[in-house]
Amino acid sequence: MIANSQNNVFDVTILGGGLAGLTLAKQLLTRQPGLRVAVVEKRVFPVAETTHKVGESTVEIGAHYFGEQLGLKKHLTDDQLPKFGLRFFFKDAFQSLAEGTEVGGSSFFAAPSYQVDRGRLENFLAESDQELGATIFAGARVKEVFLDSSQNGTEDTAHRVTFLQDKQKHSIESRWIVDASGRAAFIKRKLNLEEDLGHDINAAWFRIDSNIQVDAWCDDPDWQKLTGKVPRRWLSTNHLMGEGYWVWLIPLATGSTSIGIVADPRIHPLNTFNSVEKSFAWLQEHEPECADAIEDQLDQVQDFLAIKKMSRGSRQVFSVDRWGLVGEAAAFLDPFYSPGSDFIAIGNTMVGKLIEEDLAGNSITHLAPTLQSVFLTLFQNNLLTYRDQYPLFGNPRIMAVKFVWDYAVYWGFPALLYFNEKLTDASFIQSLHKGVEEIRDMNLKMQTFFRKWYEADSSVNAVPAFVDQSNIEIMTRLNRELTERLDDAALRDRFRENVVLIRELMHEIVGRICIAEPELQAEFGPQADETTSEQRLTSVFEMLEV
């Protein structure tokens, strides 16, 4: 810890007081009370509760980080909304929801997740961080970042940040600096670390001051009862799926609804939906039920933002020179499956480990590149889930099966290790190396398989069906097991079991589809010839007429 009585010297400076920066400050100060943490943020708190930011939907890793690691569960339960999972709708433009294919749960999964109003959460975090001792420089605009390249930094060789606040120039120093500035990405730009991910998507989103409930879009009583006696589909992150695009509807605790269009520009160029008027016209063409539901509320649109090239990568995220990138300043995949808060959780946990070890006097010479390798491996493996997959998004047969695969890989590997606090344990992860590599290889093969399947069968054929994920045993099992705390030996055994489970799932999917699509046999035949003792997806295949 830097010992200095002046108020411009800190142990850690965090650039950006959004979700990534504020949660990191809370994490650091909760684990190390007395740490001198500065947060430099351009906004002034409290911000508007309906702050316009992507990242309102959490999934299991991010939700666990917020609720359990940071102790925010009471806030999430009392002041945010429970999330009824991810829900997906496939249909022709003029079908009702009940006439198409729905994929989602009829009950909540065991591991909780939440819908968060970002402004409300960030206000709560800012107040909490200050109570813990953080110094928040609000209304501050960063002018320059000076990085110390000495691995043995001292009080005299510290990182320095200059910023304007109330038209006055200020300068602060710190041993560590963490960039959580979002797309501003000060350090990434300074060091030219940007990496092209080969995944080009655009998005536009807005919030309406109204609770838009998909439950009311169809009056079929049988359809309404599929998820219980009380309408609750609206609590899901609802996805309206189509070729090359998806539309999200996310409810917020303040009563607003977040609506976003995300699309592959090769199929749906951004200039076709890059304003409120164009977005509404686009919805009228592609998702007319959604357009009808919001038409009378267009005068209640609270904000609008269109963004090009959402996905961002970085060649480096952590350094032995005591700096790190977290949140969107590090990398951003895609809002589909809501992974943003997950990588905030993973990045914050890793950089927090580096800071903790360094301030304890321990070398991070080997730890920093090791944790970076783990982070980038997880990121790149997850990227496979999205790259060149958007054309498939309108095909319910393929996507309903892909969902099971993607969930199984996520819950069976990174989520399992994160919940058991092992993603920063380098030696433990090394002991799983063979299984990690096999999962990566299998995921690469399966994402290729889904694309080839689409080439063989690109028809939509949204049959009237409800694929109830609550009745898919492999999904409920893997999610439920996240709530179990395991010792190291038991965790290794569980991971190895999951590798076998994922392998068998791969063989079942490929084997079944190669029967229906024999042209795939030549490329994927060796896997198709494998047999498994248990057929887990038979009911799904039959329901989707595969």
The domain locations on the chain are 1-51+118-198+311-387, 60-117+199-307, 396-459+486-546
Q: Running DSSP on this structure, what letter comes out for residue 182?
A: G
Q: Is the C-alpha dihedral spanning 403, 405, 409, 415 positive or negative?
A: positive
pLDDT single digits (tens) 324-369: 999 999 999 999 999 999 999 999 999 999 999 999 999 999 999 9
Distance CA 508, CA 514 (A): 10
Distance CA 159, CA 338 (A): 33
Task: Specify the pLDDT at position 3.
Answer: 34
CATH topology of domain 60-117+199-307: D-Amino Acid Oxidase; Chain A, domain 2 (3.30.9)
For the cut 80, the answer to whether the pLDDT of residue 519 exceeds it is: yes
Task: Specify the pLDDT at position 154.
Answer: 58
For the cut 80, the answer to whether the pLDDT of residue 192 exceeds it is: yes
N- to C-terminal Cα separation, the chain: 61
Distance CA 40, CA 174 (A): 12
pLDDT single digits (tens) 138-187: 999 999 999 997 666 555 569 999 999 999 999 999 999 999 999 999 99
- 153-162, 434-443, 488-497: least confident range: 153-162
CATH superfamily of 1-51+118-198+311-387: FAD/NAD(P)-binding domain (3.50.50.60)
Task: Specify the pLDDT at position 461.
Answer: 74
Q: Is the C-alpha dihedral spanning 171, 172, 173, 179 positive or negative?
A: negative
Give the tokens for residue 197.
Answer: 């991910």
Give the tokens for residue 387.
Answer: 């790259």
Confidence at 2, pLDDT banded by 50, 70, 90: very low
Residue of 443, 410, 235 whose CA lies nearest to 336: 410
Task: Specify the pLDDT at position 40.
Answer: 98
How many Cα atoms are found within 13 Å in the side-chain-facing hemisphere of 111? 26
Task: Specify the pLDDT at position 327.
Answer: 97
- Structural contact between residues 151 and 320, judged by C-beta atoms closer than 8 angstroms: yes
pLDDT single digits (tens) 221-270: 999 999 999 999 999 999 999 999 999 999 999 999 999 999 999 999 99
Helical ranges in 145-265 per DSSP H:
186-191, 221-224
Across the chain, what does the average pLDDT equal? Answer: 93
- 44-58, 378-392, 529-543: least confident range: 529-543
3 vs 385, residue with greater confidence: 385
